[in-house]
Amino acid sequence: MKITIKSGIIYRTVIVAVFLLFLVLPDSSPCQIRIKDVARIKGLESRIVTGQGIVVGLRGTGDGTQVSFTPQEISNFLRNYGVNTDPREFRTRNAATVGVTAVIPPFAKRGSTIDVTVASIGDARSLEGGVLFYTPLNDEMNNQVLAIAQGPVSIGGLNVRGAGRENYPATGNVINGGTILQDIETSFTSDVGTSGEGVTEGVTWILNQPDFTTAARIAQAINDEFGDDAAEAVDPATINVKIVGKAGQNEANVNYVNFIAAVEQLTVETDMPAVVVINERTGTVVAGNDVKLSPVLISHGDLTIQIRPPVGAPAQPPGQAAQTGSVAYIDKSAGSSVADLAAALNAINVTPRDLIGIFQALKTNGSLKATLKIM
């Protein structure tokens, strides 16, 4: 949940309105997330390919005379077509040397197309209107040419200064400009254990955000579906899963694709540490509903907040704060959270700067039971 803070009463209303969304979240109904959305299969990594090429057809915005390698690049290119030139004899501003990069997804097949990114290496002012000439793209790990790139360069709109923002015309994209030259072989199965019959084959799932609790829950969900010995959480980021069939199914008939499809559709309740993120430059505060506060007295300028029931007053429902002048009270018996604090801060009209200062002080005091990240 994100709150953007600017200044004044309107922005205080925005802050608290977004914070109060936490109050309507159904705490009793934990969020179930598919395994495929929180983890990936080891071995299914994309490949990065790179190359160096020439963008031509520019309107006088290419590399200048101080860039010596662009004439050499053009000379080498023309030589392939039987035209011999001396790179020292010409200078042109309608061409630019560029670095070319692309990402090839796993299981990409020959003839498939991908987007390509180009970026000026020299001092070209703009690549707008240019065309990338035929450029081989290499996998540096294996020193193989896996794709070729060519086509018109798009810089994402005109290079206009004004009320909005200025884009960066020295970089651009060639949409579907890369063509895969060969099938990308990908191995995603591995030996994940041993049994009386020898080594057991399976797949390894890697959590996008390592967490012991989430890893254990994923392993348990898979075991509940496929048997007690199907999955094992090795560490907070790794779960080894044997390729097995359901009860009564011959393992020899298990299809890898169907098995993995069934596993990735299983749902689990993920668990992540409580974190409050504050961006002091933009005034953005991000917090989860599970961020708790222990009893504390907050005195900030002429504002006072106490996490306890006011003396002689009835306990308040969760998320509601009693108010007496510039003093607000939160009932600690309800399990005080950041949402409760937001309600109390709204009751006494706290400014954005006060909000950030209060969170920082709560962390220093130890009352804020969360990791505080300041950007």
The CA radius of gyration of the chain, in Å to the nearest whole number, is 30
pLDDT, position 276: 79
b/e sequence 192-205, b meaning 16+ C-beta within 10 Å: beeeeeeebebbbb
Rounded average pLDDT per 10-residue block, the chain, 375 residues: 36 38 41 91 92 92 83 80 76 88 94 96 90 92 91 77 66 95 86 62 91 94 89 94 71 77 92 78 69 71 61 47 50 57 63 72 78 77
Measured from the Cβ of residue 347, the count of other Cβ atoms closer than 10 Å reads 20
Decide: 12 and 355 in contact? Cβ < 8 Å.
Answer: no
- Rounded to the nearest 10°, the torsion over CA 106, 208, 33, 257 is 30
pLDDT, position 80: 79
Q: How far apart are CA 344 and CA 360, in angstroms?
A: 17
Residue 186, SS3? Answer: coil
Assigned token pair, 291: 């961020």
Which of 157, 96, 87 has its CA nearest to residue 132? Answer: 96
Measured from the Cβ of residue 162, the count of other Cβ atoms closer than 10 Å reads 6
Q: How far apart are CA 229 and CA 345, in angstroms?
A: 51
Which of 128, 116, 121 has its CA nearest to residue 173? Answer: 116
Which of 169, 165, 103 has its CA nearest to residue 130? Answer: 169
pLDDT, position 354: 73
The DSSP code for 245 is P
Q: How far apart are CA 165 and CA 162, in angstroms?
A: 7
Assigned token pair, 218: 């994923």
pLDDT, position 328: 55
Which of 14, 117, 123 has its CA nearest to residue 58? Answer: 123
Decide: 112 and 180 in contact? Cβ < 8 Å.
Answer: yes
The CA-based diameter of the chain, rounded to the nearest angstrom, is 96
DSSP assignments along 102-157, one per residue? EEEPTT--TT-EEEEEEEESS--S--TT-EEEEEEEEETTTTEEEEEEEEE-B-SS
Measured from the Cβ of residue 166, the count of other Cβ atoms closer than 10 Å reads 9
**∠11-17-22 over CA atoms, to 5°?**
140
